[in-house]
Structure 1
């Protein structure tokens, strides 16, 4: 086989006068095809979340001010993985969260909802389909980078009631 057919294999040439074997740099330099190794990159779902907010969650003229504010927040964050919090299965947008897979932490960027989300707080997990422009439930229990949205258990939405002292004077 020729050096062009196998660009990743080092070919050796023998210098017959000195008896040494050296690698042929020229054979590797001849290869002008695409790079076989690309540097490590962290996958991001910002584009998917942008589309989900624009075309599904906050679509329409009525939601435009809120949508623009949230999209601006999305662009300014350095986090690579974002998640949307829904109120319930009706997929009504409540907040935008940042997910850190290394530590499995979920922190609110903007919107209405808890500041931090723990594993036990999560109800359902959703994946966004850009083709269908809708969310579908994922039959999973653990959060991962493949999750685009989630709900929290209903009792966490209930406001904490402050005990009002009863007036016992008659």
Structure 2
């Protein structure tokens, strides 16, 4: 089920006149942002990544850990959901993150996870896993650019806060 962009900038479903489900609208919004990022060719600012990832995971009622994989020029290679958790946490395994980095031949990465509570302040566990992943990825030549903590209406960049 795809969307068609109208000349006036609006969208409609192909061959469908029935009401549109919220999950379909969110999926379409994610597609629009992904295409916009692909057209840019690269992640230029933390806000570019934050806008995309907020739409992708900000609405979830359980925690998920995602990685935006980039080449050395910060062009998007892949976006992965690597771990899924519960209401207030998810287990992140550095070995699996490094394995995927090698699979996509990444040169850089942006980490992201959501806080279903909407409070985007980083926990001590968030800071610890960021440091562990930064060190693990550095061993295989992958630069960690940022770790974004995403809520329904806000996003916190650890890089912008100087916590990287």
Question: Does 1 or 2 have the higher relative contact order (CA < 8 Å, sep 6+)?
Answer: 2
Greater Rg, structure 1 or structure 2?
1
**Which TM-score applies when normalising by structure 1?**
0.26
Instruction: Say which structure is richer in helix.
Output: 2
Normalising by structure 2, we get a TM-score of 0.27
